Amino acid sequence: MYRIWFTVMLSDTKLRTLKPKDKAFKLADYDGLYIYVTPTGGRSWRFDYRYQGKRYTQTLGKYPDVSLADARSRLRDARSVLASGKNPHQEKQKEKILQREASTNTFGAIADEWYGAKEKLRSHAWREANALYLRRDLKPEIGSLPITEVSGPLLLSVIKKIGDKHGVKTAERVRQTAGQVFEYAIRQFKATANPGRALAQWTEIPAAEHRRPLTPKEIPGFIDAVGRYPGLPSTKNAVRLILLTFVRKSEATDATWDEFDFDNSLWIIPKERMKMQKPHIVPLSRQAIQILESMKPISGESKYVFPSNSTLEKPMSGSSINVMFQKMGYGGSFTPHGLRSTASTILNELGFGRDPVERQLAHTERDEIRAAYNHADYLPERKKMMQAWADYLDKLCGLKTAKKKQPSP
């Protein structure tokens, strides 16, 4: 049993000269506060109390890290908690848990959780873009901070910095990614506010510029530029395949051989790789199949039709096509995505129905009522359309070649 002299009032002088004994002992201060001294010289502030008929001991800190004045202040806080009907010991345990959670619930850790929960259900383009925003823009700046400490002003300074470096449109996309991370944290009870959402109008975002499609007269020059481009055959063939099938850039660059049904001249892209999360069937023209056949010896043992130049284990980067467009002189005036609008515009002008064209572009029906009744895949019409489109391109290029060969009068 330990003896406590409640009449003793401790002082800083007494505490500094306090010596350990063979056995642990206590020295009281007042109102239940005492210092506990171990044989090895360890000294800690403690407070004994009863809560709902049960005895508890609350440790208030170690001396000299916690001074006598601080220990008395902590005692008053504990007494106040007890007076409110709560257990000081349990409240301290909750606080420790919350502090531990705060130290592990960094923005970077929660961002990884959010990304991991989403990536299997999102397209390659989504994964690539958001992984870049997290890795390059957000984690280096705020990744190590507890998410609850990332305030609106702090996030705004990060977004502005990104805007200065990469442009406001990119900064806005990064803000949207950050906002989704905060929204996820709120649903997981790891945050209570979303500064990303509060910054929704942090600056004026320029309106999107829609690049015009190529005209029929411009198509032969573009195809000729692709042929003359001094880059890798895989890059040039990827562009040719996009022009023939008008799939999205990432849908072409990430294509795997097992997606192709050569017996039926079909390319079946799984929903995981599609923007709208629906599988997409692409009828293949004879010209498209020729391109794919030419890639077989180039891709070798890779599962990808267009493997990376550095490793067969990864697909080629979409940036390779962007660089190609820049070097061909189309940068800023015509983008890879413009190949889709080129095909759509001309096929509509040639009299092909809106529905087959839109279905081939893998666009969703905006009219909800019409979409509910329109489940047609238009595959027979699209097979004819895709072959007609490939023949049309060949005819355009043939006409240009024929004109070049005409002798001068």
Domain boundaries, the chain: 12-92, 107-198, 219-405
Q: How many residues does the chain have?
A: 409
Nearest to 56 by CA among 27, 88, 24, 104: 88
Alpha carbons 247 and 323: distance in angstroms, whole number: 19
Cα-to-chain-centroid distance, residue 141: 16
Instruction: Tell me which of 72, 118, 166, 337 is the catalytic residue.
Output: 337
Query: Distance (Å, rounded) from C-alpha 283 to C-alpha 303?
Result: 21
- Catalytic residue from among 74, 190, 248, 273: 248
Q: Is 373 a residue of the active site?
A: yes
Q: Residue 121 and residue 278: Cα distance in Å, rounded? A: 11
Are 27 and 6 contacting, i.e. CB atoms less than 8 angstroms apart? Answer: no
Pick from 252, 255, 307, 250: nearest CA to 126:
250
The H or E element containing residue 57 is strand 54-62
Q: Would the pTM of this model clear 0.75, i.e. be above it?
A: no
Query: Is 275 one of the annotated active-site residues of the chain?
Result: yes
Contact 400, 220 (CB under 8 A): yes
What is the reported pLDDT for 111? 95
Helix (H/G/I), strand (E/B), else coil: 260: strand
Query: DSSP string of 129-198?
Result: HHHHIIIIIIHHHHTTSBGGG--HHHHHHHHHHHHHHH-HHHHHHHHHHHHHHHHHHHHTTS-S--HHHH
Residue 124 phi, psi (nearest 5): -60, -40
What is the CATH T-level fold of the domain 219-405, as seen in this structure?
A: hpI Integrase; Chain A (1.10.443)
Sheet architecture: strand order including 266-269: 260-261, 266-269, 280-283
- Look up 273 and say whether it is catalytic: no
Q: How much is the pLDDT for 387?
A: 96
Angle of the 233-245 helix axis to the 379-405 helix axis, nearest 10? 120
Distance, in Å, from the CA atom of 202 to the CA atom of 306, rounded to the nearest integer, reads 40
Enter the CATH code of domain 12-92. 3.30.160.390
In angstroms, rounded to a whole number, what is the distance separating the alpha carbons of residues 55 and 75?
Answer: 16
Q: Which residue has the tokens 């294509």?
A: 255
Determine contact, residues 193/373, Cβ cutoff 8 Å: no
Q: Quick check: is 127 catalytic? A: no
* 249, 340, 359, 383: the active-site residue: 340
Q: Is 337 a residue of the active site?
A: yes
Full pLDDT tens readout for the chain, 409 residues: 444 444 457 888 888 888 899 999 998 888 889 999 999 999 999 988 888 888 888 888 899 999 999 999 999 988 888 888 888 888 887 777 666 665 678 999 999 999 999 988 887 778 888 999 999 999 999 999 999 999 999 999 999 999 888 888 889 999 999 999 999 999 999 999 999 999 999 998 876 555 678 889 999 999 999 999 999 999 999 999 999 998 988 899 999 999 999 999 999 998 888 876 778 899 999 999 999 999 999 999 999 999 998 889 999 988 888 889 889 988 767 777 788 888 889 998 888 888 888 888 887 544 443 343 344 478 899 999 999 999 999 999 875 544 555 445 4
Q: Which of 167, 171, 107, 112 is nearest to 141 (CA)?
A: 107
Active site residue 89: no
State the catalytic residue, choosing from 94, 363, 370, 384.
363
Q: What is the pLDDT of residues 118-170, one digit of tens each?
A: 988 887 778 888 999 999 999 999 999 999 999 999 999 999 999 888 888 88
Looking at residue 166, what is its pLDDT? 82
Name the catalytic one among 160, 275, 303, 400.
Answer: 275
Angstrom CA distances, 89 to 130, 179, 270, 393, stand at 43, 37, 55, 79
CA angle 30/34/36 to nearest 5° reads 170
Cα-to-chain-centroid distance, residue 110: 11
What type of residue is 230? Answer: P
**R_g of the chain computed on alpha carbons:** 34
In order, the DSSP letters of 289-325 are: HHHHHHHHHHHTT-SBSSB-SS-TTSBPPHHHHHHHH
CATH topology of domain 107-198: DNA polymerase; domain 1 (1.10.150)
d(CA 85, CA 65) in angstroms, rounded, equals 29
